[in-house]
Amino acid sequence: MSDVKKVVLAYSGGLDTSVIVKWLKETYDCEVVTFTADLGQGEEVEPARAKAQALGVKEIYIEDLRETFVRDYVFPMFRANTIYEGEYLLGTSIARPLIARRLIEIANETGADAISHGATGKGNDQVRFELGAYALKPNVKVIAPWREWDLNSREKLMNYCEEHDIPVDFAKNKKKSPYSMDANLLHISYEGGVLEDPWTEAEEEMWRWSVSPEAAPDQATYIDLTFEHGDIVAIDGKATKPHDVLSYLNKVGGENGIGRLDIVENRYVGMKSRGCYETPGGTIMLRAHRAIESITLDRESAHLKDELMPKYAELIYNGYWWSPERKMLQAAIDQSQGSVNGVVRLKLYKGNVIVVGRESEDSLFDASIATFEDDAGAYDQKDAEGFIKLNALRLRIAAKKGRLDD
């Protein structure tokens, strides 16, 4: 228990991670470095400084990571049209590798030999943090207090606070919620509470980032998104930075009741869990990206991407962002995006994201071939006969053997 000298903690400024600061010092007799990141979760991060200082922390890192988060993690993931289990846009999953990287970089800068986090032993986040940490610093010591301590009830935590003079007003800054939540620029998530019964509908007051479709405006909003190499670079014709793209789409999406999701998902640790998510901007981006690909991407490239996507999504969900296999898939995906350029026009209306137009100088849609009108010889319909005949040949040979008639 005592060979840890200094530990870098992913510190939110909330009650739980404040308890962890104390507990680490007490349990490991070690120095604690706190790291607090602005990933667009919608809360100020600067107040974490005073809180950490009050807990006796001397090395305090507070950083705005929104730009790198969207540019280097969210955007590459969206190039793959990534969805986990047909529904989930991986809002929590994609933030973890960046946090893991900064924890390790700070450990290297400060000479720390360990990292710590506030994720429980039942969830995916512990895996994502720790796989990232081990991949980037193989000999790092990882401390996961929730797997070690016995403070496994709210009551015990409160007693610990009292005994250790941790100001409980820490908790009051955050509106008390019956849900376990996580937020960043890509989404906000809700778990626990009444959601633990999959038959129970989520309460309207749970949702924080979007209005309900019912409450959304009766007038649709139209928006043009410009892509370069598969990433959004402009909104309504105006060049926009990656994190500003996502902020803006969250805003306009949330206003139009877009991006709510209520699912039961399969965790990497082997259980099913109910989760609710709001991903307004991501929901818009996914639809738009598929639309721009629909006119600019080769058919077989698109189909190959679709076949690779479930595995790519699983890797990110399970915490393997830093793995060599994720990098292999990324290389294939990125290779396909060079011509994914152009503009998509969307109509946003009461929960719906409707594609109404797409155009591109790199379009492979050739109206002169596809037309129902006279195509002036661009396509010779007689070619189809040979195409079908040879594609059918193996089936015909098999059929002659009486094979295919069951």
Structure tokens at 128: 């994502």
Sign of CA dihedral 368, 371, 377, 383: positive
User: From the CB of 29, what's the least distance to a second copy, in Å?
Assistant: 21
Q: Is 88 annotated as a binding residue?
A: yes
Q: Is 128 annotated as a binding residue?
A: yes
User: From the CB of 174, what's the least distance to a second copy, in Å?
Assistant: 16
Q: Is 37 annotated as a binding residue?
A: yes
Strand partners for 349:
352
CB nearer a second copy, residue 135 or residue 185: 135
Closest CA to 69 of 93, 33, 105, 43: 93
How is residue 88 annotated by DSSP? B
Q: Is 124 annotated as a binding residue?
A: yes
User: From the CB of 304, what's the least distance to a second copy, in Å?
Assistant: 5
User: From the CB of 333, what's the least distance to a second copy, in Å?
Assistant: 8
CB nearer a second copy, residue 38 or residue 182: 182
Give dist(CA 121, CA 47) in Å, integer.
Answer: 28
CB nearer a second copy, residue 51 or residue 260: 260
CB nearer a second copy, residue 168 or residue 404: 404
CB nearer a second copy, residue 40 or residue 257: 257
User: From the CB of 246, what's the least distance to a second copy, in Å?
Assistant: 21
Look up tokens 């206003």; give the residue: 255
User: From the CB of 378, what's the least distance to a second copy, in Å?
Assistant: 9
Structure tokens at 57: 């922390």
Are 185 and 243 spatial neighbours (Cβ–Cβ below 8 Å)? yes
Side chain identity at residue 194, one-letter code: V
What positions carry a catalytic annotation? 16, 96, 125, 180
CB nearer a second copy, residue 162 or residue 196: 196
Q: Is 93 annotated as a binding residue?
A: yes
Q: Is 210 annotated as a binding residue?
A: no
Give dist(CA 378, CA 368) in Å, integer.
Answer: 7
Give dist(CA 110, CA 295) in Å, integer.
Answer: 50
Q: Is 184 annotated as a binding residue?
A: no
Identify the H or E element spanning 318: helix 299-318
**Helices then strands (H, E): number in the chain?**
15, 14
Give dist(CA 360, CA 339) in Å, integer.
Answer: 9
Q: What is the 3-state secondary structure (H, E, C) of 188-211?
A: EEEECHHHHCCCCCCCHHHCCCCC
Label residue 353 exposed, middle or buried (CB < 10 Å: 0-12, 13-18, 19+): buried
Question: Residues annotated in the binding site, as ranges?
Answer: 10-18, 37, 88, 93, 118, 120, 124-125, 128, 180, 189, 265, 277
